[in-house]
Structure 1
Amino acid sequence: MGPAARDVRDVYAFLSMLAMFCYFALLVDFSALFVRCSAFVMISGQVLPELVLMLGAVFYLILVFGCATSASSEKSSDFSNIAQSALSFFQISIGMYPAENFHSLKESRWIMVMCVGFTVLVVIFLSNVLIAQIIGAYSSLYDRMLGLARLNRMAIICDSMPAVRRSRFRRFVEALRLDERMEFGEGDVGLPGCIQILEPGNLNPTNQDAIMRFGGSTSPKMPWPEDEEDASGSLAERLDNLTKIWKKAMRRIEKKRDKGGRRDGSSSVSESRSRSSSSVNSDSSQ
């Protein structure tokens, strides 16, 4: 850069930096290609007001503690006036205040108390409040933002469809093979208009086939045969009936056992009474 451009060098550098920020901000729109990234970007925009509120509270506390420290009778080089005190508290809030300077505050106990109170309020309290707010907002907004990200992606696809040539779109549709019947399993041919996704056979085991198949013509004049299970009742109703029958049988068995136990107990009691009476009669005769 020549000597004639030295006066505008700072302005040119600032504008170049601003242009780079704008360029990379526009690249964020590519997140619509990925649903989760798009949802994350939208959630970040939704929780941004929480961050702004937290920063506002931090700057308010910096002003409060800066004014209070500058009014103290104890003076320090880092807390000599309002501007210097506010700058020192700002460095403390972002962790850039030198640790050696805290040792010089041993003689200024009120300034040390101010620094400790500011650290507790900003670094410990407000930061944790911000984390709690972001967690609550994220958990409540994620499902809605995920659906909105899908809608945005579909809107982008619909807007870009007119720019696609018909021949290219036709080749894409032919590559999907939607007119071919897909297989539910090996040798089990299903319906056309599907996209087949393979998975391990032991991923979703099923003991009962949920697909009902009927052979023959599909003419409305020749309806499908009635299912035997539908004629005699559904499988669930039959199982309920069997369960009720089994419970009744178990109750009857338990009642018979109780009656048999009572009879055995009464007979044993009568035998013991007869034995005791016979022993008494023999003693009296002797």
Structure 2
Amino acid sequence: VPEKFFEALQSLTIRHVKYGVKGEYVKPFGKAILSGLEELAGPRWTPPVVTAWKNLWSRVSTCVGRSLNVGTNLITVALVNGDVERFREAIECAPRRDRMSWVTRVEVYGAIMSPLYWAIRDGKFAIAQFMIQDLLALRADRDAYYYGREHLWCTHPDIIPTLCSDCPMLVEDLLDGLLWHSQHVHDGKVRANYYIKELYGGPEENPDAWKTPLAVMCLKGQPQMFLHPVSVKLLELKWDRFGKKTFLSVQAFFVIIIALFTDGFLMHHTGDCGAEGLISRTAAGALAFIVFVAMSYFIVKQYWRGQTTVVRVFRMPILTPRLLCNPWNLARYISMCCLVFAASSTAPQCLGGGRRSEAPSSPSVGGGLEPEMHQIDFLMVVTAVTAISMWGQLIQALVISTRLAALTYTIGQLFSDVTRFMYLMGITLVSFAAALTALQEPGFEEFDVSTMNLLKHFLNLAPPTHYDFEALGMFLMVMFAIIIHVGLLSILIAQLALAYEHLSEDKAGYAKMNRAFVCVEVESCIPMRIRRKIWDAIDFDKPLEFDHGDEGPTGGIQVMELAIVRAHPKYKPDRIIRCTGTADPHDPWPVIRDVFEEGEGEGVVKKAAS
């Protein structure tokens, strides 16, 4: 089929452009192709066959040659060679109004390609970094400001997912280009512009909150990304607008349920049908039922809208709604289900006849009464699971404090190391218990008893005991003590110390990442009309001033920050490149070079314009 053939030819041509093949190679290559076909065909190389192949090659060579000539311009040559300086020279001749288009698109064989994605996927990260920095540079002449932020997102709407997946080190350069600080201080404060319109993610462009750039950074990004001032301001904006209020409201409602559960099920026995206990249990069950129904509604809604992700359970892929991907939400959903079951199981007993009957004590052999042995029924198990699940979920409330959230993350990561150690310790303990049982040493005749005795010995729960063992048994006990107390515990302490040192560098980023995850989760549950209202209230379409009366590009928010921000490594005073002379948009920008000269202990930057 001709269409399929030329589609494949298009991909082939684009690859050859990347290889640096030139248009003048086509003609000699065609002669070699036809000569080789003639040699292979032999007597079947008849005039009709020759004519057909020549016509085909004429069509192919014309298309390929034209594309190679167009595709081997200065920009594509620089991309192929990974030469940043040649790429800079190629775009310096672009009219200032077209410079952004030159950087973001090239045409090869009728296909529009992104030089930025081309560079990233070919590993030309230096050129990709230069493109991002050039696009997000703020330039100005006497007539207008030129800023490629909006053009970058218009031509690369998936820039954040691409960078997070393929080149996370360039996310910092992207965020740097969305920030501007004034060099002037007024009343102890500095004007700062954060151009975060696209990073925020409008409700019309991102109806699914899990597709917003912030959500992508949570799912695919790294914790260091959330320490950048732009990420911090974006998170602060969402947290203050809707995240904090909604999160605290949910937590307050949940605390009420915990209080009612504690009073009805723990402070009063489930068999106690007094008014106070019964009211608390009924109220807790009713509120839990409301939460269960609300969460079920959001789960079905997300599943219906495709807001799901694949979770592997024992290597089996399960399509799971986003709400249940959060372990805290899953635990809450299960605990609400258990609480509803517990409340509905105890209410009929009270309504049907008061307290539960107590079984009579069994008579003893001597004629007395033996105390009844404690029996655990299914309702007790459900209540216990609900108790530990509900009280444990209060840990999630620590996200309100960055320091507490960072501490929680650190403890969680260290706990995973301890879990691996316990697994290794368990295997060691069972091995020695099996050996002592085989030797039938006193007190170690049964395997389960041996295991419990060694566990008590390891946890120092048993009183000091003199073991009357044979030589081999005593040797095994000594080896067990050395391996566990001297070997494994020392390794665990050293490992935890190293892990804590490593985690201390990332814990602040993980804490903010966790808060960002909460914001995305809240945003995904907010009705669209409220999201639109919040979006309109921010007013991203208002031009931001660089100085009084000097209005610049739209698409951001302006804040007055304390002057101490000038000590921040990301502070760059008034990074606008202002050019004098002609303001004709058809003229290229004046060439600017940064010349570094070594001064007395510091680098001196000199800018020379030509």
TM-score by length of 2: 0.28
Q: State the partner residue of 1:22.
A: 389
Runs of 5+ consecutive residues of structure 2 not aligned to the other structure: 1-270, 272-354, 360-372, 601-610
Q: State the partner residue of 1:119.
A: 481
User: What is the rounded CA distance, in whole Å, between the counterparts of 1:156 and 1:125 in structure 2?
Assistant: 44
The CA RMSD over aligned residues, in Å, is 5.3
Identify the match of residue 92 of structure 1 among 453, 457, 460: 457
SS of the residue 2:562 aligns to:
coil
13-22 vs 156-165, which moves further: 156-165
SS of the residue 1:195 aligns to:
strand
CA distance 1:35–1:79, change in 2 (3 Å): same
Structure 2 residue 436 is matched with structure 1 residue 69:
yes
Q: Deviations over 1:2-30 (max 9, x none)?
A: 45266997323332111112223444444
User: What is the rounded CA distance, in whole Å, between the counterparts of 2:435 and 2:424 in structure 1?
Assistant: 16
Would the aligned equivalents of 1:43 and 1:142 in 2 still touch at CA under 8 Å? no
User: What is the rounded CA distance, in whole Å, between the counterparts of 1:159 and 1:218 in structure 2?
Assistant: 49
CA distance 1:213–1:79, change in 2 (3 Å): closer
Q: State the partner residue of 2:560.
A: 196
In the TM superposition, residue 143 of structure 1 has moved relative to its aligned partner by 4.3
Write the mapping of 1:45-64 to structure 2, written as runs, cut at 5 A: 50-64=417-431
User: What is the rounded CA distance, in whole Å, between the counterparts of 1:151 and 1:57 in structure 2?
Assistant: 36
- How many residue pairs match? The answer is 223
Whichever structure has more strand as a proportion of its residues is: 2
User: What is the rounded CA distance, in whole Å, between the counterparts of 1:63 and 1:91 in structure 2?
Assistant: 13
SS of the residue 2:557 aligns to:
coil
SS of the residue 2:560 aligns to:
coil
User: What is the rounded CA distance, in whole Å, between the counterparts of 1:90 and 1:19 in structure 2?
Assistant: 28
User: What is the rounded CA distance, in whole Å, between the counterparts of 2:543 and 2:395 in structure 1?
Assistant: 38
SS of the residue 2:559 aligns to:
coil
CA distance 1:90–1:135, change in 2 (3 Å): same
Q: Deviations over 1:245-281 (max 9, x none)?
A: xxxxxxxxxxxxxxxxxxxxxxxxxxxxxxxxxxxxx
CA distance 1:179–1:66, change in 2 (3 Å): same
Would the aligned equivalents of 1:39 and 1:148 in 2 still touch at CA under 8 Å? no
User: What is the rounded CA distance, in whole Å, between the counterparts of 2:598 and 2:452 in structure 1?
Assistant: 80
Write the mapping of 1:1-286 to structure 2, written as runs, cut at 5 A: 1=271, 2-4=355-357, 10-11=376-377, 12-30=379-397, 50-72=417-439, 75-76=441-442, 78-99=443-464, 101=465, 104-105=466-467, 108=469, 110=471, 111-134=473-496, 139=502, 143=506, 146=510, 149=514, 152-162=517-527, 165=530, 169=534, 173=538, 181=545, 193-200=557-564, 203=567, 220=584, 236=596
- Higher-RCO chain (CA-CA 8 Å, sequence separation at least 6): 2
User: What is the rounded CA distance, in whole Å, between the counterparts of 2:598 and 2:475 in structure 1?
Assistant: 79
User: What is the rounded CA distance, in whole Å, between the counterparts of 1:166 and 1:47 in structure 2?
Assistant: 38
User: What is the rounded CA distance, in whole Å, between the counterparts of 2:597 and 2:567 in structure 1?
Assistant: 29
User: What is the rounded CA distance, in whole Å, between the counterparts of 1:5 and 1:168 in structure 2?
Assistant: 60
The structure with the larger Rg is 1
User: What is the rounded CA distance, in whole Å, between the counterparts of 2:598 and 2:408 in structure 1?
Assistant: 54
CA distance 1:220–1:98, change in 2 (3 Å): farther
Would the aligned equivalents of 1:32 and 1:149 in 2 still touch at CA under 8 Å? yes
192-201 vs 36-45, which moves further: 36-45
Would the aligned equivalents of 1:70 and 1:82 in 2 still touch at CA under 8 Å? yes
| Identity between Structure 1 and Structure 2 (%) | 13
Whichever structure has more helix as a proportion of its residues is: 1
User: What is the rounded CA distance, in whole Å, between the counterparts of 1:127 and 1:31 in structure 2?
Assistant: 30
Would the aligned equivalents of 2:432 and 2:476 in 1 still touch at CA under 8 Å? yes
